[in-house]
Structure 1
């Protein structure tokens, strides 16, 4: 078990030095990742190879000494385990088939071995991490996962899925419930295998009206938090509803998450003033500021550190690290956050 700085912060303790990890810290900006990816082939070949996925998870810890290691996997493992075909096409992103706009949920045949492969990765990583490093598991939140399942791919405004949810509320509700149930099982499996905390990624939460946000983001995440906490009361949960904006206070209050991730569009001063004073927050440096480096990086990072100095704060990006981010800029960020000279 760990008693790491990051885990303490998620649980509500403040520290003079902020813990730091970065979303997508295990990925294409690292030459060691690119070398392993070239050796193994496709993305899913990496994800379902426990030794390879564990190696990718550990690469940024060895290089940078981040306070948290995030499991190398993908939010679409859930629909893949539910029976949809999953492909990652070069330059186009993920594709799921058959899309549920054209087929029935009950026609899918579950493939639970996909989840078992991820649990094996967790076990391998947990056996290698030092007690100072918090191990983070994750899952996609039901709304975001459902958008891919219904439409078969990502979309900027989720128009087809939002219309489907209005016109087929019962069917969409059944899909959301199936995702909730499997997500609880999946996250529980990760916890049993060795993660210390989990994060719920809702990448498309910002596309919904307030009423739909309440129905398809807040309520499903609240159910996951409640059920997971009943199974694992000591495991903290971070919620990350990207694009939620002014709906963040309601999300924090009604889901019951232990910490709240903020994307780069959130005014940090607004968040500090409007979120519960004792709620740990995570974020929210613009990934483009990190890629730009120099004065832009330093100014943005120091401002975030200053604004959140009076509450538990985990330094992170507002979204995933970008592929062409220079490693030297990540090293500079670490010196800024940790106060190194």
Structure 2
């Protein structure tokens, strides 16, 4: 099978292949979202957030909306990391203003309710969305790459065990540290499901995949290797067996000094950085090994003006000599004025 990076002219894929470029490619996490009026209108048509994720025509539409405005170098599938537990059979709903709610799984009986056999049937609308986006990009945005994604097993397990978001992660940590064998079975199920889910996205047309380990920072150093690095390493290894040359981006948010071990051991082709990562450290310690992605604070994009422009200039300057993809350090905040994103895009294209 030919590598997605072989002979590519897409700036995003060239950066992932290790090429430093005069103008860095860019995309923004949560670039399709509530800050855009056209997204809010499409979301209204869909009904609920989960319904929007499960309607391929509408999910494709919101994926393309930021490209029409800003011309990003990559589109990312519009979906949610909790599609995997939902497709495995865990009840999921999104309460307006409250975030996701799941029926918690905290023991062997809960694990028994999960069913790999139904994964692809339930996730089929996501694969259709990927295929629709791929067709639209090939027609109208030929230099734009398509990113598929999933949550990393630790982060997905946090939601599955806690039953939603958490500040202390008490239930998931107690299970992980008190019964590592039992918790390991949950991680193994999610890991296998993630490989299957991402592989199906690639077959549908994704050229790159990103793994979001949003709650990696909740792990102590002793647990980081076992519950973040090892499942990620397995996913990367298996995906590259199935799809040789497939680029994989890892995003271990708030991993701190664990970032170096993550880069060394997981086999990812690029690492996405949260805003806490010092630019000079990342440029000297990480960028010589792989492409780095990031890491403007989303609040600075919300703020705009001089504060944003100075931060953007610092990021562009720090990473100009190596493979680099400009992004935020997390997702766009819904109150962000669209014109701030326009100014950001202008600065990136101008190199200042």
Taking the aligned partners of 1:97 and 1:148, their CA distance within structure 2 comes to: 10
Helix, strand or coil at the partner of 2:136: coil
Distance 1:268 1:195, change over 3 A: same
Equivalence for 2:192: 181
Equivalence for 1:316: 327
Equivalence for 2:344: 333
Equivalent of 1:214 in 225, 228, 243: 225
Taking the aligned partners of 1:262 and 1:284, their CA distance within structure 2 comes to: 5
Contact kept in structure 1, 2:270 and 2:292, CA below 8 Å: yes
Structure-to-structure mapping, 1:85-234, within 5 angstroms: 85-100=91-106, 103-109=109-115, 111-112=118-119, 113-129=121-137, 130-234=141-245
Taking the aligned partners of 1:82 and 1:277, their CA distance within structure 2 comes to: 39
Structure 2 residue runs without a partner (length 5+): none
Helix, strand or coil at the partner of 1:272: helix
Taking the aligned partners of 1:298 and 1:98, their CA distance within structure 2 comes to: 43
The alpha carbon displacement at 1:160 in A equals 2.2
Taking the aligned partners of 1:287 and 1:83, their CA distance within structure 2 comes to: 34
Equivalence for 1:9: 15
- The reply on whether 1:79 has 2:90 as its aligned counterpart is no
Contact kept in structure 2, 1:3 and 1:131, CA below 8 Å: no
Equivalence for 1:296: 307
Q: How many residues align?
A: 341
The alpha carbon displacement at 1:100 in A equals 2.8
Helix, strand or coil at the partner of 2:133: helix
Contact kept in structure 2, 1:202 and 1:242, CA below 8 Å: yes
Equivalence for 1:250: 261
Q: What stretches of structure 1 move > 4 A for 4+ residues in a row? A: none
Farther off after superposition, 318-327 or 91-100: 91-100
Equivalent of 2:30 in 18, 24, 37: 24
Helix, strand or coil at the partner of 1:283: strand
Structure 1 residue runs without a partner (length 5+): none
The alpha carbon displacement at 1:340 in A equals 7.4
Provide Cα deviations, 1:191-236, integer angstroms capped at 9, x if missing partner.
Answer: 0000110000000000111110000000000000000001111210
TM-score (norm 1): 0.97
Aligned alpha-carbon RMSD (Å): 1.4
Taking the aligned partners of 1:55 and 1:179, their CA distance within structure 2 comes to: 29
Taking the aligned partners of 1:207 and 1:272, their CA distance within structure 2 comes to: 25
